[in-house]
Structure 1
Amino acid sequence: MKVPFVQSYWLRRLLASDPGRKRLNQAGKATVSLISSVFTTMMILNLLDQQTLLPSIISGIAGLMGIMIVMDETKEKKQVTTGLLALSAGIGVTLGSLLAWNAFLVSTLMIVIIFSSFYFSRFGSRYFSLGMIGFFTVYFSSFLQLSPAQFPWFYVAIVIGVSYAFLYNFILFKDSVQMLKRSMQSFHRQANLTFQLLIEIIEDPEIKESRKKKLDYNIGKLRKYASNVATELNAQDIRKLWPGLKPNQLRLYVFDAAMFIMTLSDSLQKLKKDDALETVELRTILIEVISTLKNADVLDEAHQEQNLLEAEKVVHSLRQTIDDLFEQSMDQPEGWLYLLRRIEAIATHVTKGAIDVQYYIRDLSAFDTIEEEPAEEEEEEEEEGMKPTTKKAIQSLIAGTIAIIVGYLISPIQPYWVLLTTFIVQLGTETVGRTYLKGLERSIGTVIGAGIGFILAKLVSGHSELEVVLLFTVIFLAFYLLSVSYTLMTMFITMLIAFMYDLILGGISYELLEARVVDTIAGAAIALGVSALIYPTRTMDKVSEVFIDYLVDLDAYVTEYVKSFQKMASVKGLADLAFDMDEKIQTIEDESKPILQGPGGRKYSGLPRLITLFTAINYYAKHLVASSYQKNFQYPDEVGLLFQSMEEKLSHNIQVLKALIETKEISGSFYNLQSEREEIERRAPGHQENQGDLVHHLYYIWKINQALLLIGEELGLDEKNKES
């Protein structure tokens, strides 16, 4: 996991903060595309002795949106959509200008575009992208009231903008390969950062709360980085970087490395509390294990196996040390010895996996015979009732009509800002709660941005060069921080508007920005009101839906794991499924934010505990992956029958819980698996060299079932519904 050495913790923290520099790459491309479009258009129109400012603005919008709004699944589809943006933008400029004399016609056109964007997005994101640029060009051209004689110059401006977007997206920065490489480097930086903290915890005789908080923060970051890398893996990019390596091998390596660090974090803190690390020999060997893996060049194409071979020897020494400790306390082993066993098990698996990865990277002959992994065909389930896109389209139609009316009442001269805000707040907000949260964040960001923008615009007014620099700076910051904070993004966009008003109108007034703030709040309120009254999707319903989806994955996950002990199933898919489950936990957290941060917190006071229990299950489930690769499990036939019983009862428990969440009704009893646990612990052989420890590897199965039982209790399952 070796990366270029950087001494400062905070510098390393900064380098790892943007995995693969995705945000920097996207925001940088968007800003450079906008700048290139604006200045190229200005230069060409200056040479032709034409007006430059307004066409340059449209060109900049085309260049910016050509980077930011194209979201198709494949590169080929993205290229087609990018080309079609020019056509959609050209039609928007034409219709917006021709209908500008009649506010009713312009309003109707805008609402039709919004409705169509949502409705036709069922057929692909392309239609939504085309609708977005069409809406914005209609908005600007109706405001500018262009004459037909100006159309050709605006068409040229649009083509320039879209051409730059195409150039930067698909020719100059066609760097998905490099982005994957940078993502892996960010993951390794974050892993090494956390490794260093773990070494400090072992070396320090005290348990410092500040270091524990820093470690927990870095563990959370590492989990996100692992998920981020896993979603970017594709066979084509991996071949170019590491010939012979398959996506599932690299995905498993990333998962194992992250899980090893998470296991170390949890186990070391418990070992510290139990005074298990008082032994110098144990501390030394644990530090050696961490250090050798920290210095390993796992994805280095060069033949440098020394660190990994050293890691393998150190892990073997750790195994021997643990065996000696078990022999010394054969009658009643200390509980912390099993924590060491878990560290050793996953360290062995990580080291072996890393060695396999290096072998496939170097063995180019394997690349000649490597088979394409079959693409998974997604089965489209026929949705009952109205499609979400249709609901959103109807909501947008009603909200748009109200927004136009309110816009005229507030500001007859510029009535469309309310509609613009309503449209933007409706984007990506499936539930009432998400709409509320996004509207609130947008309103707060607009208020703050209006204040700062007004002051800065006044200070730099008349200094066009400085104002243009600030304008491009806030655009970059807005899109760089888009995925970090919607409030900050809105703040910078509002500052951008302040600078644009000053440039276009030759000055800015407090009343003008105040009107935009009022329009924004009104638009957000309209979007919220319509989402709450017209085909509403309650936030808790959405959260429950994701809970159920998670349980479906969990059922497949634990079933596959338990079957692996009976030699009836492959466990190769566990790591991929674990990433999917990780994403669902993140979705649960995201969808729950409006309830936890909003006025619904008291009504759903049990939700934080439910989320905690599902997160705990996810933590336990991920620990099973290392165990799933253990071999040589030997046990009596009676234990084999217990596995079948466990599998059936676990699946039954999950089904009961799903029904309880979905219908609020108890559909059966809940098994606590206590009898199976006692029988397995009584009959299973003890740990020996080269023989799997059944009790150890089933520990987290019991923990998962206990957490499922606690969720059932939280939802109303009582004692009479429990069986042993």
Structure 2
Amino acid sequence: MHLFSGFQFRDWLLANDPALSRLRMGLRVTLTIVLSFLILLAIKDLILPLPTAAFGLGIVLSIEGGVAVRDKGNSRQLVTRLFGCVASVGVVAIAAGLEDRRVLSDLVFLAVIALASAGRVFGPRGFAIGMFAFTSYFMGAYFKPSLAQLPEVAFGPVIAVLVGHVVRAVLLPDDWRRDLLRSLESVRGRINQILFKLAALAGSTEIGEADRQELRQLEDRLKEVVLMAETFLPRPPAGVFDGAADPAAELAIRLFDAHLAAESAIVLSFQSPPSFALVHAVIEADSAELARYESTTETIVDRPQGETVRALLWLGEARQQLTQAIDKGQASGFSGIDSVEDTAPHQPIDFSFANPLLRSALQITLASAIAMSVGLLLSRERWFWAVLSSFLVFTNTNSRGDTAMKALSRSLGTVFGIAIGLVLATLISGEPAVAIPVAVVCIFLAFYFLQVSYATMTFFISIVLCLVYGMTGVLTLDLLKLRIGETMIGAAAGTAVAFVVFPSRTRGALDAALARWFQALRDLLVAIGEGKSGFELIALSQKIDACYRDITVAAKPLGSSWSVVTRPGQIRQTLAVFLSCTYWSRILAKSHGAPAVGEDEARLIAADLALIDDAAPRGSSCFFIARRASRTTGRHLPLSGEGARLGLEMIGSALERLYPRADVLPFAPGEAIARSKQG
């Protein structure tokens, strides 16, 4: 019973944390902080006294080492950490030397911020070194060590860098084969979630809108983990496999089929929900029962329920093949798949303001200057919190909407975290044996949720700070109010600058994402017109998938509560059109196998390309027009020779729904097929 429960928990964990990447992130940061702190404490007790700044640097650089260092390969990561350590000690020395000249020190801090932000143009290494420099100057100016203490202070960065490298390279190392196996298990887990939901809906005459929305969310979650699994598959430099004999190519096909079959099962269940017995047979892999359903498909092939049965049978077969691939991976560790060296050419560095990274660097510097000025009015000693907030709200954002959402998340996380942290710190005041384990757990949870929710991460970090203040005896209500005030100042400064200086509009980011999606779809259609097939088409359809994910990310601020645009239903409807087109592009890639297209397919390709030419220049305006939701009808699965033709028809139907004519309601896919047959 306990063993079964353990497997259930692991399946649940993988289904919600693909490749266990979030778990590994949380464990790496937490373990690095704990080990670094213990080593520094041992040095202080046994060898020589260390200033508080050494401990502060050890902790924050343990965090940066786990989060900011993103180079591929242990040797590259070590080089980045060592450069970061040198930068850390250097900026702390500057902060210590300028401590008596506060105005000059503040100006130098702004220069460090500008250089750290601009360093991102050099890629992952520049980003990491910049974060090391920024946080180190922050800690140096905050703790105010003297120049004479610099050798002792240097223990903090050195220990954090060395421990961080050992944790990542030895204790919790990266292993793409292990991550590939876990991500495949996550794909199977999310397919199981879809099957369980379909089982709950089995026998219904019609699936309601709430259940449809839940199934679409499950579909998006499946897409997310499939895209992750594809990143672990080593591909040739050209990105296209040579043939199915390649073990990696075979695995790519298994993954592609499982994804497409699951989506087809969802789409077809909308028009005709499956029977419980069928879904149960797929879940249990009951070959006898599945064979019985297989024998009945011929009698109901032209009816909606026949299409649903075929979709579930396809999903059952694809799921079994994926399970076989997982079993082989567990037995062999995918030893038959060779690693591929990263041979991507280095892109030239653009130092002009046409580069969004340099524009962002200017935004960050101006926001930090504003936060510093206002923060100083509130507190001469704690203004650093305002600068920290203004700096961090720009991290991993690509539009002013993203920045505003992140600023709001940081503010809310801080407020609620301090409220809970104050209660916890009060309850366990004077009990370090309780407070320390609680703080460690909160650190783990903060970085476990970092990739999911910035507000949640900030919430747990704020609790940790309250516990630390409580253990050091400086916790007061006024201090916590000051923390909240400085955080909001920094968040407001970042948001204001994002909207005024080099503003990157949400619609601008969305326009760019849509342009990439339309271009990817065009590339697929052109490749089919040129007679290409096989893995090349599959790779192109996967590119469309990745571009669709970028669209969903770019469109997210449009439906947020702070935005002027508050029509999430309309946003979802438009995203559903792009999702439908993305789905049919994969059907098309899988179905087209002929070396040359016929006259009928050539006509459909030309029509689809014309629709792209009409829709692409309009950009994101499709998200702001009224449309009537349409439900897919007609046949969906690729049937021998007509699969490619069907895919082309359905892509055209989806593209027409982006900009429906005022005098003609967008017609259903079944009508598209009928019209194309008539014409």
**Smaller-chain TM-score bracket:** 0.7 to 0.9
In structure 2, the CA distance between the partners of 1:136 and 1:713, relative to structure 1 (3 Å rule), is same
Q: Aligned residue for 1:38? A: 37
Q: Aligned residue for 2:223? A: 223
Q: Aligned residue for 1:108? A: 107
Aligned to 1:224, the other structure's residue is in SS state helix
Work out the CA distance in 2 between the residues paired with 1:136 and 1:469: 25
**For each residue in 1:430-465, what CA deviation from the matched residue of structure 2 results, as whole angstroms up to 9, or x when unmatched?**
211111111111111111112112222222222223
Q: Aligned residue for 1:81? A: 80
Task: Report % sequence identity.
Answer: 21
**For each residue in 1:131-175, what CA deviation from the matched residue of structure 2 results, as whole angstroms up to 9, or x when unmatched?**
212121212222222123321122123211111100011122224
Q: Aligned residue for 1:594? A: 557
Work out the CA distance in 1 between the residues paired with 2:132 and 2:396: 17
Q: 1:619 aligns with which of 580, 583, 590?
A: 583
Q: Aligned residue for 2:128? A: 129
**For each residue in 1:217-272, what CA deviation from the matched residue of structure 2 results, as whole angstroms up to 9, or x when unmatched?**
54443222212222233369xxxxxxx86434323322211221222233245333
Q: 1:707 aligns with which of 640, 654, 662?
A: 654
CA contact (8 A) 1:395 1:534 kept: yes
* Uncovered stretches (5+) of structure 1, i.e. residues with no partner: 237-243, 278-282, 296-309, 327-332, 665-680, 682-686
Q: What amino acid maps onto 2:30 in structure 1?
A: T
Report which of the two structures shows the higher radius of gyration computed on alpha carbons.
1
Work out the CA distance in 2 between the residues paired with 1:371 and 1:444: 44
Q: Aligned residue for 1:334? A: 303
Q: Aligned residue for 1:160? A: 159
In structure 2, the CA distance between the partners of 1:287 and 1:256, relative to structure 1 (3 Å rule), is same
Aligned to 1:453, the other structure's residue is in SS state helix
In structure 2, the CA distance between the partners of 1:483 and 1:317, relative to structure 1 (3 Å rule), is same
Work out the CA distance in 2 between the residues paired with 1:106 and 1:115: 14
1:498 aligns with 2:480: no
Work out the CA distance in 2 between the residues paired with 1:615 and 1:535: 32
CA contact (8 A) 1:267 1:343 kept: no
**For each residue in 1:618-653, what CA deviation from the matched residue of structure 2 results, as whole angstroms up to 9, or x when unmatched?**
233233344236x7x9xxx9x822222222232232
* Uncovered stretches (5+) of structure 2, i.e. residues with no partner: 237-244, 623-634, 667-674
CA contact (8 A) 1:13 1:190 kept: no
Equivalent runs, 1:91-106 vs 2, <5 Å: 91-106=90-105
Work out the CA distance in 2 between the residues paired with 1:550 and 1:534: 28
Aligned to 2:660, the other structure's residue is in SS state helix
TM-fit CA distance, 1:703: 2.0
Work out the CA distance in 2 between the residues paired with 1:649 and 1:23: 45
TM-fit CA distance, 1:15: 4.9
Q: Aligned residue for 1:445? A: 413
In structure 2, the CA distance between the partners of 1:193 and 1:347, relative to structure 1 (3 Å rule), is closer
User: What TM-score, normalized to structure 1?
Assistant: 0.78
TM-fit CA distance, 1:182: 2.4
Q: 1:546 aligns with which of 506, 510, 513?
A: 513
Q: Higher mean Cα deviation, 140-149 or 428-437?
A: 140-149
Q: What amino acid maps onto 1:710 in structure 2?
A: R
Q: What amino acid maps onto 2:603 in structure 1?
A: S
Work out the CA distance in 2 between the residues paired with 1:592 and 1:318: 42
In structure 2, the CA distance between the partners of 1:208 and 1:462, relative to structure 1 (3 Å rule), is same
Equivalent runs, 1:311-350 vs 2, <5 Å: 320-325=295-300, 333-340=302-309
1:649 aligns with 2:607: yes
Q: Higher mean Cα deviation, 26-35 or 390-399?
A: 390-399
Work out the CA distance in 2 between the residues paired with 1:123 and 1:660: 34
Q: Aligned residue for 1:668? A: none
CA contact (8 A) 2:119 2:130 kept: no
Equivalent runs, 1:249-288 vs 2, <5 Å: 249-272=250-273, 288=281
Q: Aligned residue for 1:457? A: 425
TM-fit CA distance, 1:351: 6.8
Q: 1:526 aligns with which of 480, 493, 518?
A: 493
Work out the CA distance in 1 between the residues paired with 2:229 and 2:657: 33
CA contact (8 A) 2:260 2:583 kept: no
TM-fit CA distance, 1:494: 1.5
Aligned to 1:498, the other structure's residue is in SS state helix
Q: Aligned residue for 2:66? A: 67
Q: Aligned residue for 2:536? A: 573
CA contact (8 A) 2:13 2:20 kept: no
CA contact (8 A) 1:19 1:186 kept: yes
Q: Higher mean Cα deviation, 595-604 or 416-425?
A: 595-604
In structure 2, the CA distance between the partners of 1:420 and 1:72, relative to structure 1 (3 Å rule), is same
Q: Aligned residue for 2:142? A: 143
Work out the CA distance in 2 between the residues paired with 1:533 and 1:114: 19
Q: What amino acid maps onto 1:527 in structure 2?
A: G
Q: 1:698 aligns with which of 600, 623, 645?
A: 645
**For each residue in 1:461-494, what CA deviation from the matched residue of structure 2 results, as whole angstroms up to 9, or x when unmatched?**
2222322222222211111111221111111111
TM-fit CA distance, 1:513: 0.9
TM-fit CA distance, 1:27: 0.7
**For each residue in 1:395-448, what CA deviation from the matched residue of structure 2 results, as whole angstroms up to 9, or x when unmatched?**
122222222211211112222221111101121222111111111111111111
Work out the CA distance in 1 between the residues paired with 2:167 and 2:7: 34
Q: Aligned residue for 1:628? A: 592
CA contact (8 A) 2:533 2:589 kept: no
Q: What amino acid maps onto 2:501 in structure 1?
A: I
1:469 aligns with 2:427: no
Work out the CA distance in 2 between the residues paired with 1:662 and 1:284: 44
Work out the CA distance in 2 between the residues paired with 1:75 and 1:139: 28
Work out the CA distance in 2 between the residues paired with 1:339 and 1:189: 21
Q: What amino acid maps onto 1:186 in structure 2?
A: S
User: What TM-score, normalized to structure 2?
Assistant: 0.83
Work out the CA distance in 1 between the residues paired with 2:315 and 2:363: 51
